Structure 1
Amino acid sequence: MHAGGWSRVGGDRALKRRVDIVEARLLVLLCALVVACAAVFGVIDAMAALHHEQSVAEQQRATRHPVRAEILRDAAEVSPWTDESGRSERVPVPVRWTGTDGSDVTADARVSPGAKRGERVEVWLDRTGRTTSAPSDARDVWAAAVVGGLGSVAVPVGAGAVTGIGIRIVCNRRRSAGWEVEWSRVEPEWSRRA
């Protein structure tokens, strides 16, 4: 250890202050802790979201059923809406199908843009016979689980970022104090030379 808190690191001729070494070690430890916590939080939340979405999908499958319906009017060629993947959302058009009592039932249903009059499409109905969306499939369930897991990663990453900034501020204050002590020792010599 040399005067003013300087130390030689290994065989390297570069000089580092003790605060620099402590800061580097704390930041490495913090990064490892953030990665570990983010992984644990992500997996736990992803699994919870997966189980929740699977139960919702099972409930939807139990309460919804498909019917084949005929499109009564051409659907718009382009949808003004898009989903999160950038694909055009389905557009509403009137459709007709035969009800359980044999009568014709007409309602609006969402179909692919550009669907033509007379085409047959699958329409999902709830227990009351109203049109609804199709039950969530495996892709929807897994997508929700991944989003849930990734969303929870923000907590440890944010906490780690704030902690890292705090470490940096404290170490910068220690460096500034050390520099002032060093300068108070060196400054009289520099003043005499000038």
Structure 2
Amino acid sequence: MTRTPPTTVARVRLWRWRPNTLKRHSDVFEAWIVLVTWILALAVGALAGQAAAHSMDSALSARRAQVHAVSAVLTDGAAKAPPAAGGYDDGRVWATVRWTTADGVVHTDRAKVYPGAPAGSPVTVWTDGTGRIVSAPTTPTEGMLQTVLAGVLVAQVAGTAVWASGWLVRTRLVRRRLAEWDEEWKRVGPEWRNLSGGRG
């Protein structure tokens, strides 16, 4: 069994770009559509992914700048075990904590702590500018992972959208070309059959 040389396969795949008397203007136009579609899909995907990653990184950095860690103590002992719950749960329980800010104001709020901690145990909580307890910000590693995932996801979606648009344009062009071929065959077919019959 003989194999087709790679150069022959490349010529077949790139036939729209090679001189050919049977090639139509629509074939060249289709080749340009495919080329431009791939270039735009890659470019738009890369730019959209980079913008999404930058936006996510800025949002996470701003979040980290708006909260800060404070030392607090438990006012009551924490429950021995967390209540049964379905789905994601980090195993911590809610308990009342108290802390004093730099200006001497005492705050009391509820925060999640590890179960079984006795009253007076030190805990670290995160607060915002108003002194309310908020969730801890993402770590640099978690932030980098979220940034990369956001960039990759947006890049893929944007690139796919551009590619799908080009595919729709190409599909309409192919349908139009097939319709033109059908009309031409309706005109040429009877004459060709008459000529073939006469020669027979």
Per the TM superposition, whether the score is higher than 0.5 is: yes
SS of alignment partner, residue 67 of structure 2? helix
Matched, 1:60 2:67: yes
CA RMSD of aligned residues (A): 3.8
Structure-1 separation of matches of 2:190 and 2:71: 86
**Match of residue 93 from structure 1:** 94
Work out the CA distance in 2 between the residues paired with 1:27 and 1:44.
Answer: 26
Deviations 1:122-176 (A, max 9, x none): 4334455543211332134324433543454334531331232022212321232
Q: Once the 2 structures are TM-superposed, how far is the Cα of residue 17 of structure 1 from its aligned partner?
A: 4.8
Structure 1 vs Structure 2: percent identity of aligned residues? 18
SS at match of 1:48: helix
Please, which runs of 5 or more residues in structure 2 have no aligned partner?
1-14
Paired residue for 2:117? 118
TM-score (norm 1): 0.64
Q: State how far apart, in whole Å, the 1-side matches of 2:80 and 2:108 are.
A: 15
What is the aligned partner in structure 1 of residue 133 from structure 2?
Answer: 131
Aligned partner of 1:178: which letter?
W
Quote how far apart the aligned CAs of 1:77 are: 6.2
The aligned runs of 1:1-150 (5 Å cut-off) are 9=15, 17-18=23-24, 19-61=26-68, 64-67=69-72, 69=74, 71-76=77-82, 79-82=85-88, 88-89=89-90, 92-96=93-97, 107-111=109-113, 115-118=114-117, 121-126=123-128, 129-150=131-152
For 2:135, give the aligned amino acid: S
The size of the alignment, in residue pairs, is 170
Q: Is the 8 A contact 1:45 1:149 kept in 2?
A: yes
Question: 1:19-74, CA deviations, whole angstroms, 9 ceiling, x for partnerless residues?
Answer: 3454244213211221112102211332233123212212223xx42435475213
- Where 1:74 maps in the other structure, the secondary structure is coil
Residue number among 184, 187, 191 corresponding to 1:181 in the alignment: 184
Assess, with a 3 A threshold, how the Cα gap between structure 1 residues 90 and 167 changes in structure 2: closer, same or farther.
farther
- The answer to whether the Cα contact below 8 Å between 1:50 and 1:141 also exists between their aligned partners in 2 is yes
Give the Cα–Cα distance (whole angstroms) in 2 for the partners of residues 141 and 65 of structure 1. 21
Give the TM-score normalised by the residue count of structure 2: 0.62
The answer on whether the counterparts of 2:127 and 2:134 sit within 8 Å (CA) in structure 1 is yes
Give secondary structure in 1 for the equivalent of 2:79: coil
Matched, 1:159 2:158: no
> Which secondary structure does the structure 2 equivalent of 1:33 belong to?
helix
* Equivalent-residue separation in structure 2 for 1:99 and 1:52 (angstroms): 29
- The change in CA–CA distance for 1:142 and 1:23 in structure 2 (over 3 A counts) is same
